[in-house]
Structures are given as C-alpha cells and as structure tokens.
Amino acid sequence: MTKNIFKITAIFGFAAISMSSCSKKNPPLVYFPDMYFPVAYDPLEKAEDAYSKHQNEIPLFVKQNGATGLSPVNGTVAQNKDGVADEAANTAMKTDDYIAGYDASKAVTSSPLDPANEAKDIERGKVLFNQVCAACHGTGGDGQGPIVASGAYSGVPKYADRQITVGSVHYVLTNGRNAMGSYAGQLKPGDRWRVAMYVMSAFKGGVNAAATAPAATTAAAPAPAADVKPAASETTTPKK
C-alpha cells in the first residue's frame, strides 16, 4: 500500500512539474531573459521592458532618450556612420526592373550626404576611386586603366561620352552594369555616393550635373559651286 502511495504521488508530481514547465504564460525559470523581455528591435527605439531600472539611468542611454543604439567604440569600424539607407545589390532583379531603376536613377542629381561636407566628400571619393575604380576606368576617367592598357580587358567607356548623373553612377556602383559587377560589398553606402560625387565633379563638370548627351561633332559639307554642270558619268537618261 505504501509503495502504491509513493507511485501515485510521484506520478502526480511529475505531471504537475511537466505542466508547469510547459506553461508559456508563467515559465518557472528564464535562462535567456531577452527571449521573454526583449530589448528594442530597432536600436533607435527605447526598450519597453528594460532588464533593470539601472539600465535607464546609464548616462549614454539617457542622453539618447533611452535608445539602445550607441556610437561605435573607439578603434572599431562604423558600418553606416553617415546614416544613409543601404541599398544592397538586388541579385534577383529582372532585366526590365534593372533598366527601369537605372533610367529612374538618372533623374537623381544630388546625393543624400550633407552638402556642407561636399568638398571633403569629393576628396574622399577621389581616394576611393583611385583605389577601387581606376584600375579599369583610369585615373582620368577615360576607360584606359592599367588593366585595359595591358590588353586583359576592353570596352570600358569614357565618362565624358556617357549620359550619367550622380544618381546613375551610384546605381551602377550598387547594382553593377554590363560586365561590371556590384561594388556594394566593397564600398559602404556613404562611400558609394562619394565616389559618384567625385566622378561627376572630375569628369562631368559638377556633382549636380544633369544627364546630357555628348555634343556631336559633324563636319560641315562644302557648298556647291555655282553653274557647275554634272559630269558625263553622272548624267542619267530617263527610261522609256
């Protein structure tokens, strides 16, 4: 009898523990508290359920109105310090969508970066262009970089002959074009705009220049001399 009581008690006890451990409303133990009391998903938003009251008293959090996103630690690399939306390359983009996006990008004649820093941004863009782009495009933007000059590659266009804007250059840097691949993985969002600004400033006459077709050079035809009769070989007789 005593053994049966112990067995029944053990069964009910095990059942009670199992039911309480499976409860989602009131878990008995929380090994990972941020799964139940998460901080804000958006680093710029204030966490609704802080780990403790002390968290909302930390000076850096208080300074940012409780936001959990802090400035990068000294010595580390800021991924998007400029705050520019990162338009990563869309490798699944269809051809028609790409063409439509490229055509629309030509209407963009200004970058989202702070205009007050334009000179510094262009200088930074020049450094990046010479490091990343000049191997093919050339330091003069003539499409005659060392790779092209070696004969290993050809067909790189000259910027002066292209209808481009700062927006279309940025679009190509992000998504690639023809044989050129995307550089979204090599250049941060703000730096892609800086390279585009440098290209427009150095090779197209200004950062905010609009897309214009290159001037066509046609030789003027000489005026015919007066009272000049056609040669005999040029005369024609009407067919009967």
Q: How far apart are CA 196 and CA 125, in angstroms?
A: 7
- Predicted confidence at residue 227, as pLDDT, reads 45
Residues 100, 58 share a domain: no
CA-closest candidate to residue 50, choices 227, 107, 61, 59: 61
Split into its structural domains, the chain has a count of 2
Domain assignment present for residue 89? The answer is no
For the chain, which ranges sit under pLDDT 70? 1-3, 6, 16-72, 77-79, 88, 91, 213-240
Residues 112, 183 share a domain: yes
CATH number at residue 114: 1.10.760.10
- Predicted confidence at residue 13, as pLDDT, reads 73
Residues 178, 99 share a domain: yes
- Predicted confidence at residue 9, as pLDDT, reads 78
Helices first, then strands: H and E counts in the chain: 9, 0
Q: How far apart are CA 98 and CA 78, in angstroms?
A: 30
Domain assignment of residue 146, given as a range = 95-203
Residue with tokens 């077709």: 213
pTM above 0.95, yes or no: no
Spatial neighbors of 199 by CB under 8 A, at least 6 apart, are: 125, 129, 141, 159, 164, 166, 169
- Predicted confidence at residue 50, as pLDDT, reads 55
- Predicted confidence at residue 113, as pLDDT, reads 93
Domain assignment present for residue 224? The answer is no
Domain assignment present for residue 235? The answer is no
In contact, 208 and 110? CB cutoff 8 Å = yes
- Predicted confidence at residue 1, as pLDDT, reads 62
- Predicted confidence at residue 75, as pLDDT, reads 77
Residues 184, 117 share a domain: yes
Instruction: Give the model confidence (pLDDT) of 156-215 as tens digits.
Output: 989 999 999 999 999 999 999 988 989 988 898 899 999 999 999 999 988 888 877 665
